[in-house]
Amino acid sequence: MRCVGLTAGRSRGSGGGDSPIPAVTDSEAGTTGTAPSLRRSPGRRPIPDLLFFGLVTLGAVVLLVLIFSIVIILASQSELSFRTYGLGYLVGTRWIVPTSASPFQVYGAVPFIVGTLLTSGIALLLGLPLALGSAIFVATQAPNFLRGTLGTAVELLAAIPSVVYGFWGIYVVVPLMRTTVDPALKQYLGWTGAFGGPVTGDGVLTSGIILAIMIVPTISAVSRETLFAVPASQREAALSLGATSWETTRIASLPYARIGIFGAIVLGLGRALGETMAVTMTIGNRDAIPTSLLSQGQTISSLIANELTSNSGPLQYSAVVEAGLILLLISLLVNVAARLLLWRVSGGRRVVLAQ
Amino acid sequence: MSTPAPTSPPSDAIVRQKSRTGVYVAVAIVIVLVLVVAGFSAGWFKGSSPGGGSPGVCQPPSGTYIEGAGSSLVFPLMYQWETVYGGGTAVNYASVGSSSGITDISAKTVAYGASDAPLDAAQRQTATGLLTIPESAGGVVPIYNLPGVGALDFNGTVLANIYLGTITQWNDPALVALNPKASLPDQPIQVVWRSDGSGTSFIWTSYLSLESPTWAQNVGKGTEVNWPVGTGQAKNAGVSAYVGETPYTIGYVDLNYALTDAIQYGSVENPSGTFVLANVTNTATALTDAHLTLPTAGGDWYNVSALNSPGSGDYPITSLTYVLVYQNLSGAYGSSMGMTDAQGLVDFLYWAVTTGQSYSTQLFYVPLPAYIVTADEASIGSITYNGASVPNSCGASV
As for the ipTM of the complex, it is 0.76
Question: A257 near A345, Cβ under 8 Å?
Answer: no
Q: How far is residue A45 CA from its own chain's centroid?
A: 40
| Residues A252, A191 share a domain | yes
Q: Is A306 on the interface with B (CB under 8 A)?
A: yes
- Report chain B residues whose CB lies below 8 A from the CB of A309: 96-97, 99-100, 103-104, 196-197
Domain interval for residue A141: 79-346
- Report chain A residues whose CB lies below 8 A from the CB of B12: 231-233
Task: Kindly state the DSSP code that residue A226 receives in the 8-state scheme.
Answer: H
Q: Flag whether A258 is in a domain.
A: yes
| Radius of gyration over every alpha carbon of chain B, rounded to an integer in angstroms | 25
E strand map for chain A? 3-4, 24-25, 95-96, 106-107
| Residues A233, A149 share a domain | yes
Q: Is B387 on the interface with A (CB under 8 A)?
A: no
| Radius of gyration over every alpha carbon of chain A, rounded to an integer in angstroms | 26
Q: What is the pTM of this model?
A: 0.80
**Per-residue pLDDT, A1:** 36
In this complex, do B220 and A102 lie within 8 Å of one another by their Cβ atoms? yes
| Residues A111, A32 share a domain | no
Q: Is B187 on the interface with A (CB under 8 A)?
A: no
**Mutation site, A96, A99, A205, A250, interface B, largest B CB count within 10 A:** A99
Residue A217: name the closest of A167, A145, A162 by CA. A162
In this complex, do A311 and B246 lie within 8 Å of one another by their Cβ atoms? no
Nearest to B225 among A99, A229, A238 (CB): A99
Q: Flag whether A255 is in a domain.
A: yes
| Residues A151, A28 share a domain | no
Question: B184 near B176, Cβ under 8 Å?
Answer: yes
Q: Is B5 on the interface with A (CB under 8 A)?
A: yes
Touching B: A residues 250-279, CB under 8 Å: 251-252, 255-256
Q: Flag whether A72 is in a domain.
A: no
| Residues A21, A149 share a domain | no
| Residues A86, A41 share a domain | no
CB atoms near residue B36 (< 10 Å): 12
**Per-residue pLDDT, B286:** 94
Mean pLDDT by 10 residues, chain B (398 residues): 43 46 68 67 45 48 84 92 83 91 91 93 88 94 94 96 96 95 93 92 95 95 92 91 92 94 95 95 92 89 92 94 92 78 89 92 91 92 88 61
**From A354, which residue of chain B is nearest by alpha-carbon distance?**
B4
| Residues A335, A268 share a domain | yes
CB atoms near residue B237 (< 10 Å): 16
Q: Flag whether A66 is in a domain.
A: no
Q: Is B134 helix (H, G, I), strand (E, B) or coil?
A: strand
CB atoms near residue A54 (< 10 Å): 10
**Per-residue pLDDT, B23:** 66
**Mutation site, B194, B231, B302, interface A, largest A CB count within 10 A:** B231
pLDDT tens-place string over residues B12-61:
444 444 456 666 766 777 777 777 666 555 545 444 333 333 444 556 66
Tens digit of pLDDT per residue, chain A (355 long)?
333 333 333 333 333 334 444 444 444 444 444 445 555 555 567 888 999 999 999 999 999 999 999 999 999 999 999 999 999 999 999 999 988 888 899 999 999 999 999 999 999 999 999 999 999 999 888 888 888 888 888 888 888 888 899 889 988 999 999 999 999 998 899 888 889 888 888 999 999 999 999 999 999 999 999 999 999 898 899 999 999 988 999 888 988 898 889 889 988 999 999 999 999 999 999 999 999 999 999 999 999 999 887 878 889 999 999 999 999 999 999 888 888 887 877 665 543 333 2
In this complex, do A307 and B224 lie within 8 Å of one another by their Cβ atoms? yes
- Report chain B residues whose CB lies below 8 A from the CB of A313: 122
Q: How many CB pairs under 8 A join A and B?
A: 127
Q: Flag whether A244 is in a domain.
A: yes
**Per-residue pLDDT, A8:** 38
Q: Is A106 on the interface with B (CB under 8 A)?
A: no
Q: Flag whether A93 is in a domain.
A: yes
Instruction: Find the helix or strand (DSSP H, E) in which A149 lies.
Output: helix A144-159
Q: Flag whether A237 is in a domain.
A: yes
| Residues A235, A104 share a domain | yes
Sign of CA dihedral B326, B329, B330, B336: positive
| Residues A106, A27 share a domain | no
pLDDT tens-place string over residues B264-304:
999 999 999 999 999 999 999 999 999 888 998 888 999 89
List, in order, residues 6 or more apart from B235 with CB less than 8 Å away.
B72, B95, B97, B194, B196, B198
Q: In B42-76, which positions are buried (b, 16+ CB within 10 angstroms) versus exposed (e)?
A: eeeebbeebeeebebebebbeebbbbbbbbbbbbb
Q: Flag whether A54 is in a domain.
A: no
**Per-residue pLDDT, B52:** 36
CATH number of residue A242's parent domain:
1.10.3720.10
**Cα–Cα distances in Å, from B205 out to A160, B175, B220?**
37, 20, 7
| Residues A162, A40 share a domain | no
**Cα–Cα distances in Å, from B315 out to B203, B226, B310?**
13, 27, 9
Alpha-carbon distance B54 to nearest alpha carbon in chain A (angstroms) = 34
**Per-residue pLDDT, B55:** 44
In this complex, do B12 and A231 lie within 8 Å of one another by their Cβ atoms? yes
| Residues A235, A95 share a domain | yes
Beta strands B190-194 and B130-144, pairing class: unpaired
| Residues A116, A194 share a domain | yes
Structural domain count, chain A: 2
